[in-house]
Chains A and B, each alone.
Chain A
Amino acid sequence: MLRFVLKRVALALLTLWILSVIVFLAAQVLPGDPGRSILGNLAAPSAVRTLDHQLGVDKPVLTQYWTWISHFVQGHPGTSYQYQSAIGPMLTGALGRSLKLAALAFIIVVPLGIFGGVLAALNVGRPLDRLISTVGLSATTVPEFVSGIILILVFGIGLSVLPISATAPPGSGFFTQLKYLIMPAVPLTLILFGYISRMARAGTAEALESDYARTATLKGLPRGVMIRRHVLRNSLLPTITVVATQTGYLIGGLVIVETLFRYQGIGSLVYTAATHKDFPMLEAGVLTIGIVYMVATLLADIMFALLNPRIRLRAAE
């Protein structure tokens, strides 16, 4: 097991380094330059040149990359070009907020999705199955900005029961923060519910058809016990993978939800950095999302291995 984990960590580090190179190269291709994006489109060219020089973006690209990565590995993510302040506190703050929102969305959607999927699988072909599948699929196709605005109009403006902004006042307690985060979490739940429930449904349906399920039924196990002990354990494996791969989206891909609900998460931070060619912030943000993603998939793999001895054995070979 330890060897399995170490191998995965090494692979993750390599992937992150490749990611940093790709982001760096992609950032070079983006039009515009940081000086101009700070001073505005109509700034005097001499002022833009001076600012670019002060920021160090007129240095050769390799020098820029080396300066950045050598500091980054020592734990200094550097200074944002755009905001002229240390990236560390901004990034950790944004990451914390993103994690909070993602955690809430997960807590709502994972049990709901699995429950819905299993329920649908146990009723394959019946109206309940069709209902769950259709609702789930329809909800997935509703973009966040549509569901988000409808929620704001109904619960924020019409009924005035929930705050419109997701940012709770500083120093708010757990329940206040929860109240602020419920509305932005719902569009995410809608998007992910269909996905997770379909995976859970497919896994469960397949497991129900399997030989071991039939054997368990034939040897006289009550249906409930058979489902809990034999079916769920096997059917949830693909669901875990799906949930883990959605972490990247839930942490870094929420630009629209963050914009709509005025929530400064890591998604909008990275998006703004990309549009302003704020290279140190962009790199640090993308790598942070990458690290979270790697950790999530690693955890998923470990869980997978714990639930499924075949993986463990293969990895150890």
Chain B
Amino acid sequence: MDLLGSLSVWIMPLLILLIPVIGFLRRVKVYEAFVEGASEGFQTAIRIMPFLVAMMVAVNVFRISGAMDLFINSFAPLLSFIGVPPELVPLAIMRPLSGTGALGLTTELLNTYGPDSMTGKIASTVLGSTDTTFYILTVYFGAVGIRNPRYSVIVGLVGDLVGFLSSIYICNYFFSW
């Protein structure tokens, strides 16, 4: 288990070490190639900005106004009917909307219920197995100027829902014995 921990620390520096070294050995002008690639970074990041402003303003207004809590409370009975613990419902709603929000909620759940409790394990699995759908959609499509994402929203949200529900069932199955 220490191996996994140190692997996650080492992987980035190893890549930044190995790719230029392999490049050098294969006679790539590494510094020049790096600068050539990096020069695209600024343009791309700036192009994302209006998309990010639109999405983050809407999500933030939805959260701060309390409309999200209303949404959570009205969904809680339905979700607990299919076996979702009520304390996990906010995480289910937050996960696709805000990455930092979901991380905050998970940290709170880990501290309240303990990281080795069933709730803690389920919350960790939810956070690890799905991504922030609306952020990914905004950034990836924003960077190439796509304004109409078509059915992608539905696909992403279905993926989140499946990830959330199967986290609960699979954790209950694996960690109960």
Q: Do these two chains really belong together in a complex? A: no
